Amino acid sequence: MNKTAQPQPETREFQAEVKKILDIVINSLYTEREIFLRELISNSADALERFRHQNLTTKDVTDPDLSLEITVTVDKDNHVLTVTDTGIGMDRGELEANLGTIAHSGTRTFLSQLAEGTKDVNLIGQFGVGFYAAFMVASKVTVQSRSFRPDDPGHIWESDGSGTFTITPAQNARRGTTITLKLKEDAKEFADPERIKRIVKQYSSFVPFPIAVDGEAVNTVQALWTKSKNEITAEEYTEFYKYVANAFDEPLLKLHFDTDAPLAIKALLFVPRENFEHFGLGRMEPGVNLYCQRVLIEQRSKTILPEWLRFLKGVIDSEDLPLNISRQALQDSSLVRKINSVVSKRFLKHLEETAKNDAEAYETFWTTFGGFLKEGVVSDFTHRESLGKLLRFESSRTESGKLISLAEYVGRMAEGQKDIYYIHGPNREAIEAGPYTEAFRKRDLEIIYTMEPIDDFVMGHLQEFDGKKLVSADRADLELPDAKDAKEQDTPREDDLTTEAATDLAAWMKQVLGESVKEVKESKRLEDSPAMIVNPDAHVTSSMERIMRAAGSTQGTIPASPKTLEINPRHALIKGLAGLRQKDETFARTVAEQIFDNAMIQAGLLIESRNMVERTYRILERTVTQG
């Protein structure tokens, strides 16, 4: 009785350079071993896509009724993992050529490119280095493949990665490719079906073909960013947002766009409803994932968007991405910057359109996430001008809680007004009770109220808007229209200090206050308050100094800078001080020091209060004992 002869394997030896590459792939190229499964599934998806394209022009194919799908099976007892696709498949020559992408005469060139850090190494969808990532976890890899061509019988490629591989004709193979991994002892975790499902969901959820792990469909969420907006319902957007953001509510805003120039980019971004940094839960991690042709490249990417947009959730996909050989790091940082710039500009434009068309929605956004845009003004010169259009503040002409834009302020500036004025304070009531708004009220000039610690830094970095300089009201060199231009004009009273008397009193107060002040002078803008602190340095406002002091307080690196004290010679307290100086100079010194400290408090700059409290008691004691 004759027996059919079994086909004998043909053994080939890897070149020396291939061994080097295998060593790189297995031991140092990938930082996470689980990447191997992403690479195998990506290759399978590419094989399916190639078959679908081929089938449009060639109807005579092997197994035409096979569904286009990827299946992953796990043999937990024997520590075997299998990945199967019904794609285009490979004949014997293609098996050797494709799996040997690094195993032919081009190997030296490939290694040279790798050593030189070339920017042209892009192996997405190729059997090659990505395929060899399987050897990170497998002691033996078997590939059975049959081409779509009807005359191809199919073949088996097998290797332990040590130095040789074999190719053998296959029996009863169907179209497509099956990769079987015999897992290493230290890689048995990948024989756990739940572990495999998690990896597939993390990296390959949006592969455009069904993926099943042990019969269970895994990639059930559609890659919505690849579809036309007209094809997507509001419910689908919400479900996708919940998936990518791990959220339970609806998004506040969404932006879905695609562009071909200057880069091919598809993006679907969401603004959540809550800002968890408000709750003291620490700094948010970036929430946008970077994909290339639906394959996850970088989860929660720290580079694809500026840090001040870290509150965004969603997906950016660019088929133009040149990747390094492991797909884990982008090679072309200039391209990353281009994507960053394109997407950032589109999102800022979207916010501007929202502010124009749905003011209520934008105000909700601003209340929740406005601090991030302010951070962008301070840290991102590229987008500073666009961000300036999105800023919102209260002002002297708004009701409490009502916000305006800088454009609205400019649109109603007084005739001849050259600057945009602002003043900082802890709240609206404190600002309006302070001395800095008096001159503006008298002249009917609008002044913006900045009430967050970062606001003065925002104004300082923005510097101007629509050609108008941003000027803090506590600047010593502030220039306002003459009082005669105001609606009301005060008539000097007989008991007001003369210019000579006011100058003399200011010089005496400077001598009393010493190095605490740079200068004491008569004020041209105070109306109802006796005195106020102004900043000689036009670039550092009182609130800026307050923050810098707090930041440097533990090291003692931020000393108090000398201030200018402006006094109001028309105020009863200042006139009384001039007379008290002649009668009781010692007590007058105490009052002068108290006036200075009160002005420092109104400027938010008094730090050490013990001396002031003791002095206040002395003044009160004098008052009650002498009537």
Task: Return the pLDDT at 323.
Answer: 55
Task: Return the pLDDT at 101.
Answer: 47
Q: What is the mean pLDDT of residues 38-45?
A: 91
**Cβ pair 573, 485 in contact under 8 A:** no
Higher-pLDDT residue of 540, 98: 98
Strands 253-259 and 265-271: antiparallel
Strands laid side by side in the 155-159 sheet: 10-13, 164-169, 155-159, 138-146, 176-183, 80-85, 70-75, 211-213, 216-217
Residue 332 has pLDDT above 60, yes or no: no
Which of the residue ranges 129-133, 194-198, 499-503 would you say has the lowest mean pLDDT? 129-133
What separation in angstroms does the CA of 55 have from each of 62, 70, 211? 10, 18, 21
The 10s digit of each residue's pLDDT in 566-597 is 999 999 999 999 999 999 999 999 999 999 99
Task: Return the pLDDT at 491.
Answer: 58
Say whether the peptide bond before residue 208 is cis (omega within 30 degrees of 0): no
Q: DSSP alpha helices (H): ranges in 485-584?
A: 499-513, 542-552, 572-583
Show the tokens assigned to 355: 């502010």
Please give the Cα distance from 627 to 481 (Å, whole number): 43
Please name which of 289, 225, 209 lies closest in space to residue 236, comparing C-alpha atoms: 225
DSSP string, 399-423: -TT--B-HHHHHHTPPTT--EEEEE
Higher-pLDDT residue of 490, 180: 180
Q: Which residue has the tokens 């992953």?
A: 72
The 10s digit of each residue's pLDDT in 393-437 is 999 999 999 999 999 999 999 888 899 999 998 899 999 999 999
Compute the chain's Rg from CA coordinates. 36
Q: How many CA atoms lie within 13 A of 56 on its CB side?
A: 5
Q: What is the mean pLDDT of residues 282-310?
A: 90
Q: What is the pTM of this model?
A: 0.79
Please give the Cα distance from 220 to 205 (Å, whole number): 7
User: Which 3 state secondary structure label does DSSP give 237?
Assistant: helix
Please name which of 189, 181, 191 lies closest in space to residue 159, comparing C-alpha atoms: 181
Residue 214 has pLDDT above 50, yes or no: yes
Q: What is the mean pLDDT of residues 324-342?
A: 70
Task: Return the pLDDT at 210.
Answer: 94
Please give the Cα distance from 142 to 94 (Å, whole number): 15
Domain residue ranges of the chain, discontinuous segments joined by + = 10-217, 224-367, 391-485, 499-626
Please name which of 44, 13, 30 lies closest in space to residue 136, comparing C-alpha atoms: 30
Q: Domain 224-367 has what CATH class?
A: alpha beta
Task: Return the pLDDT at 80.
Answer: 97
Task: Return the pLDDT at 606.
Answer: 66
- Name every residue whose Cβ is closer than 8 Å to that of residue 330 and which is 6 or more positions away in sequence: 297, 298, 303, 321, 322, 323, 324, 336
Fold of 499-626: Four Helix Bundle (Hemerythrin (Met), subunit A) (1.20.120)
Q: Domain 391-485 has what CATH class?
A: alpha beta
User: Which 3 state secondary structure label does DSSP give 13?
Assistant: strand
Higher-pLDDT residue of 186, 4: 186
Confidence band of 487 (pLDDT split at 50, 70, 90): very low
Q: Which amino acid would we find at residue 397? A: R
On the question of a common fold for 224-367 and 391-485, the answer reads: no
Angle at 46 between CA 44 and CA 47, to 5 degrees: 65
- Output the CA torsion sign for 18, 19, 24, 30: positive
Q: Which residue has the tokens 């589109």?
A: 346
The 10s digit of each residue's pLDDT in 517-534 is 999 999 888 889 999 999
User: Which 3 state secondary structure label does DSSP give 479?
Assistant: coil
Q: How many residues does the chain have?
A: 627
The 10s digit of each residue's pLDDT in 535-545 is 876 566 666 66
**What homologous superfamily does CATH list for 10-217?**
Histidine kinase-like ATPase, C-terminal domain (3.30.565.10)
Which of the residue ranges 9-18, 66-75, 304-313, 362-371 would you say has the lowest mean pLDDT? 9-18
The 10s digit of each residue's pLDDT in 407-418 is 999 999 988 889
The mean predicted confidence, pLDDT, of the chain is: 85
User: Which 3 state secondary structure label does DSSP give 66?
Assistant: coil
Residue 161 has pLDDT above 60, yes or no: yes
Q: What is the mean pLDDT of residues 169-175?
A: 91
**Cβ pair 216, 120 in contact under 8 A:** no
Q: What is the mean pLDDT of residues 608-620?
A: 86
Please name which of 470, 476, 472 lies closest in space to residue 532, comparing C-alpha atoms: 476
Confidence band of 120 (pLDDT split at 50, 70, 90): very low
Residue 124 has pLDDT above 70, yes or no: no
Confidence band of 118 (pLDDT split at 50, 70, 90): very low
Please give the Cα distance from 370 to 424 (Å, whole number): 17
Task: Return the pLDDT at 509.
Answer: 95
Q: What is the mean pLDDT of residues 216-224?
A: 91
Task: Return the pLDDT at 59.
Answer: 80
Task: Return the pLDDT at 175.
Answer: 95
Confidence band of 492 (pLDDT split at 50, 70, 90): low
Task: Return the pLDDT at 395.
Answer: 96
